[in-house]
């Protein structure tokens, strides 16, 4: 039972989180940044996303019900915020190290953790999986699957920065803008799915 639950959850999380695709987007967001910044953002992103998913696993459904917020509403809002990020990736120049009011911009919370690594789709999967796991063994299997997926995701984020050394500056700029377009499409899909479910419900 443990193995079945673990493998099912592992597959579900890999599909929803998409470590490779997210790593490429992360690379686009950290173009021009030094290695230390990228490593710091990669670690913070996966740690925050892991914490969000685990908290949602045990308290998410109750909290949403208490606030009167649906997963569909989260999907729409996450899509809108994600589209802003995609627009900036396509239209602006090299990202470089960003500063605001003398402080380095932290991309770990937005857009990496929310909505890319632990967005509405991931939270929906989490709530559904844990709601169908009444035993301690099944809950342990689900938690273990979350830790494994985010561990792999962290490694993918760290490796993505090496793409720059392979494709060069021009290729890097092209890739970042192309990924921005893909990210924009993903954002629109989030919004469309959310609106569709709201209309049906």
pLDDT for the residue 156 = 92
DSSP states along 37-58: HHHHHHHHHHHHHHHHHHHHHH
Tokens 């092209």 belong to which residue?
A: 174
Higher-pLDDT residue of 173, 112: 112
Write down the pLDDT at residue 56: 92
Of 13-22, 67-76, 147-156, where does mean pLDDT reach its minimum? 67-76
**Least confidently predicted of 69-78, 87-96, 122-131, 153-162:** 87-96
Q: Cα separation of 156 and 148, whole Å?
A: 12
- Average pLDDT of the segment spanning 90-94: 67
Phi first, then psi: give them for residue 187, nearest 5 degrees: -65, -45
Identify which of 112, 132, 140 has the alpha carbon closest to the alpha carbon of residue 54.
140
Least confident of 97-101, 107-111, 113-117, 168-172: 97-101
Q: What is the rounded (10 degree) CA torsion for 52, 56, 62, 64?
A: 60
Segments in 100-135 forming alpha helices (H): 120-131
Provide mean pLDDT across the span 72-101.
70
In total, how many domains does the chain have? Answer: 1
CA distance 158 to 27: 9
Q: Residue 51 in contact with residue 113, Cβ under 8 Å?
A: no
How far is 46 from 11, CA to CA, in rounded Å?
18
Q: Are 135 and 57 in contact (CB under 8 A)?
A: no
Residue with tokens 């790593």: 23
pLDDT(45) > 50: yes
On whether the CB atoms of residues 126 and 53 are closer than 8 A, the answer is yes
133 SS3 class: coil
Give the mean model confidence (pLDDT) for residues 7-35: 85
pLDDT over 80 (residue 109): yes
DSSP assignment, residue 194? Answer: H
> The pTM is what?
0.75
Least confident range of 17-21, 133-137, 142-146, 175-179: 175-179
Residue 118's closest CA among 9, 18, 11, 186? 18
Mean of pLDDT over the chain: 84
Nearest to 85 by CA among 183, 197, 1: 183
Domain containing residue 45: 2-200
Strand partners, 104: 99
What integer pLDDT is reported at residue 97 of this predicted model?
47
Average confidence (pLDDT) over 26-50: 90
């Amino acid at each position: 039972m443990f193995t079945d639950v673990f493998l099912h959850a592992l597959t579900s999380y890999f599909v929803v989180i998409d470590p490779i695709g997210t790593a490429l987007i992360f690379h686009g967001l950290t173009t021009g940044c030094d290695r230390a910044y990228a490593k710091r953002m990669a670690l913070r992103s996966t740690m925050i996303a892991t914490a969000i998913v685990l908290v949602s696993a045990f308290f998410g459904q109750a909290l949403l019900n208490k606030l009167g917020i649906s997963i569909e509403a989260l999907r729409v809002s996450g899509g809108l915020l994600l589209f802003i990020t995609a627009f900036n990736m396509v239209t602006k120049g090299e990202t470089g190290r960003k500063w605001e009011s003398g402080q380095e911009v932290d991309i770990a919370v937005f857009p990496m953790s929310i909505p890319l690594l632990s967005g509405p789709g991931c939270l929906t999967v989490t709530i559904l999986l844990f709601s169908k796991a009444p035993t301690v063994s099944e809950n342990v299997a689900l938690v273990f699957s979350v830790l494994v997926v985010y561990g792999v995701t962290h490694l993918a984020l760290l490796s993505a920065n090496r793409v720059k050394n392979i494709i060069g500056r021009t290729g890097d700029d092209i890739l970042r803008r192309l990924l921005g377009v893909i990210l924009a499409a993903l954002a629109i899909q989030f919004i469309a799915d959310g609106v569709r479910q709201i209309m049906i419900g």
